[in-house]
């Protein structure tokens, strides 16, 4: 057994400040335990990957981290303070997310979708808003400027006035990321950001996440594409049946027999071939996440 990767009971103290932390998070739905005593910390400037089989509890954990679900027990904190069980207030405090199924406003333009995300940072005097006074006009101008910069950042300037529903699939994914960034988060949670993308789009998304990290934003990514995760993340967490089985560096996790058995479900040599995009017979293959 590879002892380099840690179990939840072996967790190593973070070397950098911890931003977002889950402590003993358990989530039950009636008699079903979707999460069981999950603990981890996201450090400043870190990209964490969250992997596991379908039904492992990955999206449920995201929902607990963003106030959509109230954990049955345990706590979620940001900078040491408990996060409210209210998605809007969680966003205000600096935690933004995207969803596994794209949730854009299809009949609004790309620019308008990002402006919706910016609304959480637009604090205006009610009277000024009603009368369209100087404060309102200044706030609107600042929001429009920020939106234009974010559309440029994700490579969508040319689609600014295009309806979201008319954008190519990969561009819709990037637009959802731009909308999340419009809230000025310190933590960004991405739920399967490369789902349905081709190799070129996936690589562009990898580079975009690196650029987001370079802005000072810490990132947690759910993905089934293990090759993507292992070449992107500083640490990888493996959830199996609602429990945190293993955490460690990508090399530690992909070589851990527990992961091979519980998640990847193949002998080590097949797992290594899959990670490197080569089938077991030596020909180039497409990894199946």
pLDDT at 135: 57
Report pTM: 0.80
- CA distances in angstroms from 275 to 128, 193, 266, listed in the order given: 56, 18, 12
Q: Is 95 helix (H, G, I), strand (E, B) or coil?
A: strand
Res 64 pLDDT > 80: yes
- Picking from 24-28, 46-50, 146-150, 268-272, which range would have the lowest pLDDT averaged per residue? 268-272
What is the CB-side half-sphere exposure of residue 41 using CA atoms within 13 A?
A: 15
Q: How far apart are CA 26 and CA 129, in angstroms?
A: 43
β-strand pairing of 18-29 with 73-78: antiparallel
pLDDT at 257: 83
Res 151 pLDDT > 80: yes
What is the CB-side half-sphere exposure of residue 131 using CA atoms within 13 A?
A: 7
Domains and CATH numbers, the chain: 1-94+185-289 (3.40.50.300), 107-184 (no CATH)
Q: How many residues does the structure list for the chain? A: 289
The H-assigned helical ranges of 165-261 are 169-181, 199-214, 226-230, 250-254, 257-259
Res 116 pLDDT > 80: yes
């Amino acid at each position: 057994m590879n002892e380099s990767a840690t179990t939840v009971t072996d967790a190593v103290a973070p070397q950098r400040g911890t931003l977002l932390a889950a402590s003993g998070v358990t989530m039950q739905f009636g008699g079903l335990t979707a999460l069981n005593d999950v603990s981890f910390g996201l450090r400043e400037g870190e990209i964490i990957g969250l992997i596991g089989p379908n039904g492992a509890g990955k999206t449920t954990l995201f929902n607990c981290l963003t106030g959509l679900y109230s954990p049955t027990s345990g706590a979620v904190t940001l900078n040491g303070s408990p996060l409210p069980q209210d998605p809007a207030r969680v966003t205000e405090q600096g935690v933004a997310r995207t969803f596994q199924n794209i949730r854009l406003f299809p009949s609004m333009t790309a620019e308008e979708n990002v402006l919706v995300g910016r609304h959480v940072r637009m604090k205006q005097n009610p009277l000024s808003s009603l009368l369209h006074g100087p404060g309102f006009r200044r706030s609107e101008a600042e929001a429009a400027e920020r939106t234009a910069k974010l559309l440029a950042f994700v490579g969508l300037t040319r689609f600014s006035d295009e309806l979201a529903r008319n954008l190519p699939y990969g561009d819709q994914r990037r637009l959802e990321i731009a909308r999340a960034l419009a809230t000025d988060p310190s933590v960004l949670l991405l739920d399967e950001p490369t789902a349905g993308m081709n190799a070129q789009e996936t690589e562009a998304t990898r580079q975009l996440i690196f650029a987001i990290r370079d802005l000072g934003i810490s990132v947690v990514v759910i993905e089934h594409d293990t090759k993507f995760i292992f070449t992107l993340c500083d640490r990888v967490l493996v959830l199996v049946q609602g429990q945190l089985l293993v955490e460690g560096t990508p090399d530690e996790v992909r070589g851990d027999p527990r992961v091979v058995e519980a998640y990847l479900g193949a002998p080590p040599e097949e797992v290594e071939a899959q990670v490197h995009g080569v089938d077991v017979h030596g020909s180039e293959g497409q990894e199946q996440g």
